[in-house]
Structure 1
Amino acid sequence: MLDAEERSRAALAAREELRRRFVIAHGATRHVLGRRLGTAPGALRFSRGPWGKPEVADAPGLRVSLTHSGDLALLAVTGSGRAVGVDVESLRPDGDGLRLARRFFPAAERDLVTGGDAGRVFTRLWTRKEACVKAAGGRLTQGFAVPVGHGTGREAEEHTEPVTVRGPDSGLPGPWTLRDLVLPDPGYSAAIALDGEGPFRTRLRVWRAAAQTDQYAGGIP
Structure 2
Amino acid sequence: MVFGRIFCSQLNVLEWRKECDFELRNNLDVWRIFIPDFIGRITDEIHLVNDKELSKSDSFIQEEDKIRFLLGKIYLRKILSSYLKIAPEEVVFSFTEFNKPYLDAYPNLNFNLSHSGDYVIIGLSNRWSVGVDIEVMNTKNDLFSMIYNTMSVVEVPSILNSDTPRLMFYKHWTRKEALLKGVGIGLIDDLKGFSVCDGFNFVPSELSNFTSTLNVRNFIMDDEYSVSIAYDTTIRVIRFYEFNTV
What's the TM-score, normalizing by structure 2? 0.71
Partner of residue 59, structure 1: 106
In structure 1, list runs of 5 or more residues that go unmatched.
Answer: 152-163, 211-221
Counterpart position of 2:227 = 190
Q: Structure 1 residue 199: deviation in Å?
A: 4.5
2:149–2:192 CA contact under 8 A, matched in 1: no
Partner Cα distance (1:76, 1:37) in 2: 15
SS at match of 1:204: strand
Per the alignment, do residues 40 and 144 of structure 1 end up closer, same or farther by CA in structure 2, a change over 3 Å counting?
A: farther
Q: 1:47 to 1:165 in 2, by over 3 A?
A: farther
Q: Which residue pairs with 1:3 in the alignment?
A: 50
> d(CA) in 1 for partners of 2:95 and 2:195?
27
Deviations 1:6-35 (A, max 9, x none): 222212221222211211111011110111
- Greater RCO structure (CA 8 Å; 6+ sep): 2
Distance 1:54 1:144 in 2: 26
In terms of mean alpha carbon deviation, does 9-18 or 116-125 score higher?
9-18
| Alpha-carbon distance in structure 1 between the residues aligned to 2:165 and 2:220 | 19
- In 2: Cα distance, 1:94 partner to 1:17 partner: 18
Q: How does 1:124-139 map to 2 (within 5 A)?
A: 124-139=171-186
Among all aligned residue pairs of Structure 1 and Structure 2, give the percentage whose two residues are the same amino acid.
26
1:40 to 75, 84, 87: 87
Shift of 1:207: 2.5
Distance in 2 (alpha carbons) for counterparts of 1:208 and 1:165: 37
Q: 1:147 aligns with which of 195, 206, 217?
A: 195
- TM-score, with length taken from structure 1: 0.79
Runs of 4+ in 1 over 6 A off after TM superposition: none
| 5+ long unaligned stretches in structure 2 | 1-47
- The residue that corresponds to 1:71 in the other structure is 118
Q: How does 1:1-221 map to 2 (within 5 A)?
A: 1-79=48-126, 81-93=127-139, 96-116=142-162, 117-141=164-188, 142-150=190-198, 165-168=201-204, 172-175=207-210, 176-183=214-221, 185-195=222-232, 197-207=233-243
Q: Whose strand fraction is larger, Structure 1's or Structure 2's?
A: 2
Tell me: CA distance 1:97–1:136, structure 2 relative to 1, closer, same or farther (3 Å). same
Deviations 1:110-144 (A, max 9, x none): 01110131111000000011111001111322544
Alignment RMSD: 2.3
